[in-house]
Structure 1
């Protein structure tokens, strides 16, 4: 239950002075529906106003003058501004207004009136002009013009200065709260109290106060990270508390492993032992198997499935698309069926008696393994004894979809697989409710991909090389990214590229894009996998797991507009067969220094995790790795890049708090409850659930 001290912050924004029916939707769009959201919307800039005289006015600076109104100069023709000439004993200052400002200015500011005026100075020779002054007040109210003014986000109809008033009122409603941070950590970090930190960030005195590294911002960021890590730790503990079937390694998985045409890498052996430790514990496993493209996650999953079958339990592997599900089935079925385990593939395409037969095998237990798409969690799918669920590219599924599959078995274990390389520093924010295993070693025999950058004027030359390669039996991807705001323009660009390639290479050029029906897209992808399409043009990022061993060339247009991690994943689509493989990164010259550094990293390294860390360093804030698609939390006060050193500390603190006081009943525990209510991040709330 929310403590009473927080009630003022959880009232609608319409309770703020000046937020009526017209303004409320604008405030909600900018900040959110409640007063707390306004409080958590921080200034983004600073205006410094210097008091001066007309003879000392500086072009481009925001300055304040004390003047006497000398004359009103109405526009002589349409499109001209209304001008007010004012003077301050050192010279004239002209104030101008465009669009409809007129006679009311004459009434409010008559000739001879003394006024304080403030705004951005524009110099035209000896003439000084202030267009649309920020302030025009009676001279005796000059003290009302702030010398330092924070600039808030704005939207059409809601200027920054208006929003600032709402933020100040929201700050007045924020009470001092009981301290939830550890006293020793607080002293070591030099953090102010929560209420004091808020006052500092809403009343910056210098640019340093706006920085994410200011002590007040770091204090508030830590609070938000701690609230999130507490919720994840509670959720993880809740999942662990569910009893689960004990699954132990048996002779089946030994036989499957011995029959493999290769030996497991050290990283695969380590990941498999971590999975086995969880499955044998009697507690419900929730583990992320994170590995670079082609690192061998599916083999680890297959051996875990063989363990489950040895223990008399079924397994299910769910993939986000039919083509990926089919590829997993083709990888898993032969080695498992060689050991006498029946494997079925279930997709939306299965109908009638064929589907009924597959469902019967799952229900009576004669099928040990099911591989499929969303079709696996439909209501009429029942397992006799589902003990292990494996979800590929887990962020592509909603929380409820993952849960619906897991709930088909009593206490079924979960392995989530992801090929999106998340830097270690950010892992806790995305996967804090899962244990993480990393496969950071490539299987021997993978062909290195030669990566080179080329300017776009060389496209004709690249097309000629592509034509020769296609005639020699090679296959290639050509990626056209989403560059413009308009999907139609992007689609047109891709269609034009596909048409140009068809003209040069022939009819074996295929095209996939986001607006195609899923079945049509799957058909083109299937033709590519089968070798009927030699060059595949794609506007969307090609499916992460799509395996086309014959594909040996990857061309990426506007490579400088992609995240490094995304480029690395695309590059991972080639180099899977015996052919020498290459990746060409096309860019519009000239390259910025940062873009040059990024492409250099990609040329030097093929380690996805190293590349992700470097990307983070180079790109800074924002969404550096396309993390929003990976279930990344939407923080308000924390910047996961600037504050990444605080993430691990908050995770440790959360674990310690719950180990000492699992029910949060101590004085600090009660304060922590207030923190969770303040941020609305609790174990039961719909925060980003990785597992």
Structure 2
């Protein structure tokens, strides 16, 4: 089935086929991401107004929305143009007024004829000792009362679209939604007490009680699950496509790994050993590995990565480790080189800088298997780079590396295993949304010898004290980072520029003591400034956030972060992880500009209390939401319309396990439930996934 099923055609027609939607409205709706009747189904109301009928307004707590039948009394037109027009009305027990501004009297006399009965509904307020309803939302003859629902859905709007129009268009979309066969596991559906798909849609758009608009309502929860299930099914198919490509079993005999362990001054943590074991087991199987290695700052990912690469070498193959930038690639090389030397294997680096004869020689060695482990930037993707026998590719810092690149890398080594490393602890729900196609290993222990970092909050008024503290530390031979938020002084935002801070610190602490690194510098200058700091020639490095990823200077034990309140939690946690790698007790000073807002204070206090990256990430998710946290634009994080990643993490886990189970039992999705799942994929616009089945 490689074409869209006919039963879905009405939902993929033009928007103007919906009631009340003309060309102009269709254009306006596009701003809400709505371009098909299908999209309209998933724009759910975010509130419901209680419009249940009452006999009287007596005893109501105002302000409130009331719906009541009244007898129309006298009209009191405005005394001047644009003034207030009032209409007296009476319900079963109470008198009040309907109030209109800029009203046309003739229109109101027609709408509210004196002496007749009308059902009015709107916001009731107390004003000057009298209850009044300003511009009622509804005013109808009693026989038309049925057109006002007991609970009126409130939809998100955009310019040029009214509530009335949304209600009409969504009802029209729901009316053309077909009854579809069930794709949810019957036991799961019964356990959660979810309605059928069509019934769930109808219920979500016609709330019948106040709680009906909450994400936990069975109808809405079912629709959220459908969305997550389609997403996880797509990831599971991608994962299978990845694994279908037969892997090459790599059985390491452990001899090289033993040499490395023997050369270490400490034993690996339980988490490190467990991760290495999981990876080695994956590599030994004939299916391709696709695994994510998540480790908090300083949890020792480098050792795990090297052990994994050595499994490939022990098995007679090669490994490659890729980093997003040249600085990071060089750092990986520095981290791996001494360990690789202990094992007696050859490690080389390949970046965009390699030119001419040098590059040709490296490529020849690589193609003939004389290089065991290659470290590089995306330069290893270039067409002329060929491996003798690539078994394992490790990718660092996933965020710049989506599913597409993972597959691209897979092509270099037809059966190469893939391991992705990230230093950003990701809450489980986001990890599943973003990496649902991968297995996950987590490093959640700190290696011995990592000392906790003392974190303090300091107001920017105490700058002089901080500089004194630095002066003393430098005298003791210690080094410090000073992080500034922006590079050029911008008129609108008064943030201290790195250039300025650099000059001032240099004046205070002396020439040659302070270095500067920022994003606008030419790469060669940046590298040189970093190199001087790494070598200990400069004691203080003033930097923008270019240092947050990966830099390793064990002697640096102080981190000053200026305007800490404008950084994200995860970013602050990453920056703090740059210190505390050596013998000395490390400190991190979070400088803020008072007064601190409530959210900022919450964030900074949490950092002071904990160094647990996963706890910090969960908090970050609650404070900022999923999109901001990963920066949705480049995150490859799907946009969900109904599902909410923050509150429905557990639902995501259920969807993942259901999707994997379904594919295990019915790999080609040919059973009744499998066929239904295909329809769901079409419905959710996951055409890619459908190609993956047909290719499969």
Number of the residue aligned with 1:39: 41
Report the secondary structure of 2:299's partner residue.
coil
Structure 1 CA distance for aligned equivalents of residues 470 and 66 of structure 2: 61
Q: What is the aligned partner in structure 2 of residue 370 from structure 1?
A: 374
Per the alignment, residue 456 of structure 2 pairs with 452
1:404 to 393, 408, 414: 408
Q: From the superposition, tell whether residues 176 and 521 of structure 1 become closer, same or farther in structure 2 (CA, over 3 Å).
A: farther
Counterpart CA distance in 2 for 1:515 and 1:39 is 47
Report the counterpart of residue 434 of structure 2 in structure 1: 430
Aligned to 1:70: 75
Q: Deviations over 1:121-176 (max 9, x none)?
A: 45542466666654466787555444532211122333444323222222112122
Q: Is the 8 A contact 2:430 2:626 kept in 1?
A: no
Moved more, 339-348 or 586-595: 586-595
Q: How far off is 1:522 after superposition? A: 5.5
Q: Which residue of 1 aligns with 2:480?
A: 476
Does the 8 A contact of 2:432 with 2:653 survive in 1?
yes
Matched, 1:441 2:445: yes
How many angstroms does 1:379 deviate by? 2.4
| Separation in 1, partners of 2:201, 2:523 | 49
Q: What corresponds to 1:185 in structure 2?
A: 188
Q: 2:575 aligns with which of 570, 577, 586?
A: 570
Instruction: Name 1:312's counterpart in structure 2.
Output: 316
| Structure 1 equivalent of residue 87 of structure 2 | 86
CA distance in 1: counterparts of 2:554 and 2:690, whole angstroms: 43
Deviation of 1:352 (Å): 3.5
Please state whether the residue corresponding to 2:412 is helix, strand or coil.
Answer: coil
* TM alignment of 1:319-330, pairs within 5 A: 319-330=323-334
Structure 1 residues 527 and 24, CA, compared in 2 at 3 Å: closer, same or farther?
farther
Q: Residues 65-144 of structure 1: matches in 2 within 5 Å?
A: 67=72, 70=75, 72-73=77-78, 81=82, 83-88=84-89, 90=95, 92-97=97-102, 105-106=104-105, 108-110=107-109, 113-114=112-113, 118-121=121-124, 123-126=126-129, 134-135=137-138, 143-144=146-147
Using a 3 Å threshold, how does the CA distance of structure 1 residues 345 and 180 change in structure 2: closer, same or farther? same
Question: Secondary structure of the residue that 1:22 maps to in structure 2?
Answer: helix
Q: Where does residue 582 of structure 1 map in the other structure?
A: 587
Deviations 1:241-280, CA, capped at 9 Å, x for gaps: 2222232224333333333343322222221122111222
2:252 pairs with 1:249: yes
Name the TM-score, length of structure 2 as normaliser: 0.85
Cα distance in 1 between the residues matched to 2:482 and 2:218: 47
* 1: CA distance, partners of 2:162 / 2:222: 28
- Compute the displacement of 1:183 (Å): 2.1
The unaligned stretches of length 5 or more in structure 2 are: none
| Partner residue in 2 for 1:666 | 671
Name 1:9's counterpart in structure 2.
11
TM-score, normalization: structure 1?
Answer: 0.85
In structure 1, how many angstroms separate the alpha carbons of the residues matched to 2:132 and 2:520?
Answer: 52
- Name the stretch that deviates more: 499-508 or 304-313: 499-508
Deviation at 1:324, TM superposition (A): 0.8
Deviation readout 1:18-53 (Å, 9 max, x if unpaired)? 333332232122133222222111111222347688
SS at match of 2:445: coil
1:627-660 per-position Cα deviation (integer Å, ceiling 9, x unaligned): 7465433222222232222233323322332222
Task: Measure the CA separation in 2 of the matches of 1:593 and 1:544.
Answer: 28
Deviation per residue, 1:46-102 (Å, 9 max, x gap): 2234768899887543345755683554876xxxx56433332645433125xxxx7
Q: Secondary structure at the match of 2:23?
A: coil
1:154 counterpart = 2:157: yes
CA distance in structure 1 between the partners assigned to 2:112 and 2:192 by the alignment: 53
RMSD of the TM alignment (CA)?
Answer: 3.7
Q: Is the 8 A contact 2:245 2:414 kept in 1?
A: no
3-state SS of 2:246 partner: coil
Alignment match of 1:288 (pick from 273, 292, 316): 292
Asked whether the 8 Å contact 1:454–1:586 carries over to 2, the reply is yes
For residues 461 and 122 of structure 2, what CA distance do their matches in structure 1 show? 47
After TM superposition, list the pairs within 5 Å mapping 1:526-541 onto structure 2. 526=531, 528-531=533-536, 534-536=539-541, 540=545
Helix, strand or coil: the match of 1:433?
coil
Change beyond 3 A, Cα 1:73–1:353? farther
Q: Is 2:219 the partner of 1:220?
A: no
Equivalent residues of 2:57, 2:66 under 8 A apart: no
Give yes or no for contact 2:559–2:589 (8 Å, CA) kept in 1.
Answer: yes
- What is the deviation of 1:398? 3.5
| CA drift at 1:598 | 5.7
Task: Tell me: CA distance 1:676–1:265, structure 2 relative to 1, closer, same or farther (3 Å).
Answer: same
Match of 1:210 among 183, 202, 213: 213
Greater shift, 463-472 or 576-585, is seen at 463-472
**Alignment CA distance shift 1:608-1:91 (3 Å):** closer
User: How far apart are the structure 1 equivalents of 2:492 and 2:526?
Assistant: 20
SS in structure 2 opposite 1:299? Answer: helix
Aligned with 2:309: secondary structure?
helix
- CA separation of 1:130 and 1:639: change in aligned 2, threshold 3 A: same
Answering whether residue 339 of structure 2 is matched by residue 335 of structure 1, we say yes
Of stretches 55-64 and 39-48 in structure 1, the one that deviates more from structure 2 is 55-64
Q: How many correspondences in the alignment?
A: 673
- Alpha-carbon separation, structure 1, partners of 2:556 and 2:146: 71
In the TM superposition, residue 492 of structure 1 has moved relative to its aligned partner by 4.1
1:417 aligns with 2:416: no
Per-residue Cα deviation, 1:464-496 (whole angstroms, up to 9, x for no partner): 4345434544333445569xxx98745845456
User: Where does residue 172 of structure 1 map in the other structure?
Assistant: 175
CA distance, structure 1, for counterparts of residue 671 and residue 111 of structure 2? 68
SS at match of 1:213: coil
Change (3 A) 1:231 1:335: same
**Whole-Å Cα distance in 2 between the matches of residues 490 and 404 of structure 1?**
42
**2:506 touches 2:514 (CA, 8 Å); kept in 1?**
yes
State the distance in 1 between where 2:346 and 2:195 align.
62
Asked if structure 1 preserves the Cα contact closer than 8 Å seen for 2:242 and 2:407, the reply is: no
Change beyond 3 A, Cα 1:403–1:184: closer
Contact 1:256 1:339 in 2 (8 A): yes
Q: Which runs of 5+ in 1 are unaligned?
A: none
**Range that drifts further, 315-324 or 303-312:** 303-312
Contact persistence 1:512–1:540 (CA under 8 A): no
Q: Which residue of 1 aligns with 2:241?
A: 238
> Quick check: 2:295–2:442 contact (8 Å CA) kept in 1?
yes
| Cα pair 1:95 1:129 within 8 Å, conserved | no
Inter-CA distance 202–353: structure 2 relative to 1 (3 Å threshold): same
Give CA-to-partner distance per residue, 1:433-472, whole Å, 9 cap, x none: 1122222222111121112344555455434434543454
Tell me, in whole angstroms, the C-alpha distance in 1 between the residues paired with 2:129 and 2:428: 59
Query: What is the rounded CA distance, in whole Å, between the counterparts of 1:499 and 1:48 in structure 2?
Result: 63
Alignment correspondent of 2:638: 633
